[in-house]
Chain A
Amino acid sequence: MGELLCLEHVSFSYEGGVEERSALEDCSVSICSGERIAVLGGNGAGKSTFFLLANGVLCPKRGTVFFRGEAVGRKKQELNRLRRGVGLVFQNPDVQILGGTVEEEISFGPMNLGLSRKEVRRRVDGAVEQMNLESLRRRAPQYLSGGEKKRVSIADALAMEPELLLLDEPAASLDPENCRLLERTLETLGERGLALAVSTHDVNFAWRWAQRILAFHDGRLVADRTPEEFFSDAGLLNVCHLEQPLLFRMARAMKICPLPRTAEAFERAVAEKGEKEGEQP
C-alpha cells in the first residue's frame, strides 16, 4: 500500500477571532491508498479543519502536507495537484452546489482540470452512474431533497477521480434510509480501492465500517489506532466524550472473540457459542 497523503506537524488557526484559538495543533498523520478511516471527535474538535487542510483549501500555518511524497506548498499548481488527488465532500451540500442542472454541477470540477469535452463527459457519466443519479440528470440541484443533494455532492468529488475521498459528516441530516444508502455507497467505493476518510459522531458506524480511527479533541489528534484498540481505551473515550459501540460492549460482555463488526456476525457468534455450550454438559 503506497502512502497517499501525509501531514507532518501541521498547525492551523483561523484569523479574525477575538482570541486566536488554534483550530489544529501539531497534527501528524499518514494515509495510505485503500484505507477506510473514521474520523471521530466532538463539534469544534478540528475534524473539518483537518479535512480542509488535507484537501488544500487551507494552508498550514506551520508544518507540511505531502501528497504522494511531494511537499505541497502555496503555489496554485501544487495545491491543485493535491485537490485533484484528494476529493472533499462538504457537510452542507448547499455550499457546494453551483450548476443549473445535476450534470452541469458535476462537470464543474472536471472542467476546471482543463480536460477535453469528451473526457469531462466520460467522468460526469461515470459519477452519475456510481451515485445512481441517472433520473435526476436534468434536474436543478438546488431543488433536490437532502439525500439527493448529498449524492450529487459526492458525485461532484468523484468526477475529479480522486485517490482519497474525504467526507465531512456525510450522515448529518440524512434520514435512516439515506444513511443506509450512503453506507452501501461507501462500501462500494472502498471495494474499488478508493481510500476513504469519513468524519462522524456515530461510533456504531465507525465500528462497523472503519479499519482505522483518528480521534480529535480540542484541536489535537489524540488517537490514531485500530477500532479495537481505540474503543478498549476507556480513558481516551472519556476524553473525547465518546461511548463504546453497542456491539462492541455486548460482544465483550459475552466474551465473544474475535469481536464481531456487524449485527449478523454477532448473531452467528452467539449461535456458535450456544452450540458449544450445549455440547458441554
Chain B
Amino acid sequence: MITAVLAAFVIFSLCVGAMPVEAAGALGLLAGGLLLAFGRHSHSGMLVIDIYARRSRYFEWSPALKTAGCVLLLVLCVVSPSPWVPLALALILTVLTVAGRGVTLSHYLALFSLPAAFLLLSGLALLWDYVPVKEGVAAFPLWNGWLVITAEAQVRARLVMARALGAVSCLYFLSLSTTMPEILSVLRRAHVPQVMTELAVLIYRYLFLLFAAYHSMRDAAASRLGYSGFARSVRTTGAVYGNLLGTSFRQAGACFDAMESRCYNGEIRFLQREKPVTVPAAALFGGLAAGAVLGIFLAVRGGL
C-alpha cells in the first residue's frame, strides 16, 4: 500500500515537466495501481525464495554461470551512463524470471516491494529539493521557501533509480533461480574467505529454525488470546521475542551438537550435483551482456 502510493508519487515526480502534468499523473497512478493490484505482501518472503528457485526452469543451469553472469550484468547496470540500458535489462530479466515458471508475476512484485520501498524513498530525496527561490519544473510553496524538482535532479534520479532497479533485477534473477547453498558453494570456489561463506550457511540455516520457532510461539500465544487488544499485543510480542532469544540459543546448541556428531570439522561442505554450463544459458547471458555493452557504447557515443 505505502509502496504503491510512493511509486505513484515518485513516477509522477520523475516525469513531470518532460510531459504534460496530466500524463505524468496518469502514469504515476497507473504504476501505483499495478503495484496495489499485484503486489500482495507476504511475510515469509525470505523462506519462499528458495522454493521459487527450486521450481524455476533455470534451476538446472550451472550456478557458477548464473552467478558470474548476473554479477557481470549487475556491473554493467551500475556503470551505464544512460538509464535506458539498466531499464531494458530490468524489464528483460523480470520477464525471463516470470517466464521461468518459478514465480508468478504477483509474487515477484510482492518480493520486489521491499527493495522498491527503499529505492523509492531514496528517489524522493534525490528528486525534491528545498530552496528559497522558485525554480525548476515543479514547485510547491512551503513556509518561506519552495519545494522544487529541477530538470537536473530528474535526470540524476532517473539514472540512479534505473541503475538500482537493474541491479535488483539481476540479483532477483539469480536468487529466484539458484538456491542459497548453490550460491554459497560458487562463492567458496571463487575463494571468498571461508569464514564468510560458513557464516552465511549458518545464518541461512538458523533463519529457518528461528522462523519456525517464532511462528509456533506466536501461534501458541494467539491461541491463548495473547493478541487481543493493542496493549496486550505489545506485551505478548515482547515476551515472544524475549523467549525467542532463549529458544534460539538452545536450538543453536542442539544443532551444533548434531553437527559435531557427524564429525563437523569447522567446514560445511555438501556433495553438489554437477550442473554443466549449457548453450542456452551461456547464450542468454552472452547476449544480454553484449546488448548492454552495445547500449552503453551507443550512449557514450551518441549521448542517448
Q: A residues within 8 Å of B by Cβ?
A: 52, 55-57, 76, 80, 83-84, 87-88, 90, 92, 94-96, 98-100, 103-105, 107-113, 117, 120-121, 124, 138, 140, 142-143, 156-157, 160
Shortest Cβ distance from B233 into chain A, in angstroms? 28
B189 interface contact, C-beta 8 A? no
CB distance B257 to A57 under 8 Å? yes
Q: Given A57-B257, A107-B270, A100–B50 Cβ distance below 8 Å?
A: yes
B181 interface contact, C-beta 8 A? yes
Q: Given A104-B270, A107-B270, A95–B258 Cβ distance below 8 Å?
A: yes
How many angstroms between the C-alpha atoms of A143 and B212 in the bound complex? 11
B2 interface contact, C-beta 8 A? no
B209 interface contact, C-beta 8 A? yes
CB distance A140 to B262 under 8 Å? no
Shortest Cβ distance from A40 into chain B, in angstroms? 22
CB distance B263 to A112 under 8 Å? yes
CB distance B271 to A107 under 8 Å? yes
CB distance B258 to A90 under 8 Å? yes
CB distance A103 to B273 under 8 Å? yes
CB under 8 Å from chain A, chain B span 253-279: 254-255, 257-265, 267-273
Which residues of chain A have C-beta atoms less than 8 A from B182's C-beta? Answer: 100
Shortest Cβ distance from B259 into chain A, in angstroms? 7
How many angstroms between the C-alpha atoms of A52 and B51 in the bound complex? 34
Shortest Cβ distance from A56 into chain B, in angstroms? 8
CB distance A108 to B262 under 8 Å? yes
Given contacts A84-B263, A103-B273, A143-B51, 11 further A-B contacts (CB under 8 A): A57-B261, A80-B263, A83-B262, A94-B212, A95-B257, A96-B258, A98-B205, A100-B50, A100-B182, A103-B271, A113-B263
The A interface, classified by DSSP as helix, strand, loop or mixed, is helix
CB distance B180 to A100 under 8 Å? yes
Which residues of chain A have C-beta atoms less than 8 A from B236's C-beta? Answer: none
B208 interface contact, C-beta 8 A? yes
How many angstroms between the C-alpha atoms of A117 and B273 in the bound complex? 11
Which residues of chain A have C-beta atoms less than 8 A from B237's C-beta? Answer: none
CB distance B265 to A112 under 8 Å? yes
CB distance A109 to B262 under 8 Å? yes
CB distance B261 to A83 under 8 Å? yes
User: How big is the B interface, by class?
Assistant: 20 to 34
A-B contact pairs, 7 of them (CB 8 A): A90-B258, A90-B261, A95-B257, A103-B271, A108-B269, A121-B271, A140-B51
Q: Given A100-B50, A103-B271, A108-B268, A95–B262 Cβ distance below 8 Å?
A: no
How many angstroms between the C-alpha atoms of A108 and B181 in the bound complex? 12
CB distance A55 to B261 under 8 Å? yes
How many angstroms between the C-alpha atoms of A112 and B259 in the bound complex? 10
Q: Which residue of B lies closest to A109 (CB)?
A: B262
CB distance A112 to B273 under 8 Å? no
B106 interface contact, C-beta 8 A? no
Q: Which residue of A lies closest to B272 (CB)?
A: A104
Which of A87, A107, A140 contacts B50 (CB under 8 A)?
A140
Which of A83, A100, A138 contacts B260 (CB under 8 A)?
A83
CB distance B208 to A142 under 8 Å? yes
CB distance A95 to B268 under 8 Å? no
Shortest Cβ distance from B211 into chain A, in angstroms? 10
Q: Which residue of B lies closest to A123 (CB)?
A: B271
B101 interface contact, C-beta 8 A? no
Which residues of chain A have C-beta atoms less than 8 A from B258's C-beta? Answer: 90, 95-96
B247 interface contact, C-beta 8 A? no
Q: Which residue of B lies closest to A103 (CB)?
A: B271
Which residues of chain B have C-beta atoms less than 8 A from A108's C-beta? Answer: 259, 262, 268-270
CB distance B254 to A100 under 8 Å? no
How many angstroms between the C-alpha atoms of A179 and B273 in the bound complex? 32
Which residues of chain A have C-beta atoms less than 8 A from B269's C-beta? Answer: 108, 111-112
Q: Which residue of B lies closest to A95 (CB)?
A: B254
How many angstroms between the C-alpha atoms of A109 and B262 in the bound complex? 5
How many angstroms between the C-alpha atoms of A140 and B208 in the bound complex? 12
How many angstroms between the C-alpha atoms of A105 and B179 in the bound complex? 14
How many angstroms between the C-alpha atoms of A142 and B273 in the bound complex? 19
How many angstroms between the C-alpha atoms of A157 and B262 in the bound complex? 7
Which residues of chain B have C-beta atoms less than 8 A from A94's C-beta? Answer: 209, 212
Q: Given A112-B265, A117-B271, A90–B181 Cβ distance below 8 Å?
A: no
CB under 8 Å from chain A, chain B span 78-125: none
Which of B50, B208, B262 contacts A112 (CB under 8 A)?
B262
B40 interface contact, C-beta 8 A? no
Which of A92, A107, A111, A160 contacts B254 (CB under 8 A)?
A92
Shortest Cβ distance from A28 into chain B, in angstroms? 22
Q: Which residue of A lies closest to B262 (CB)?
A: A109
CB distance B270 to A111 under 8 Å? yes
How many angstroms between the C-alpha atoms of A84 and B265 in the bound complex? 13
Shortest Cβ distance from B195 into chain A, in angstroms? 18
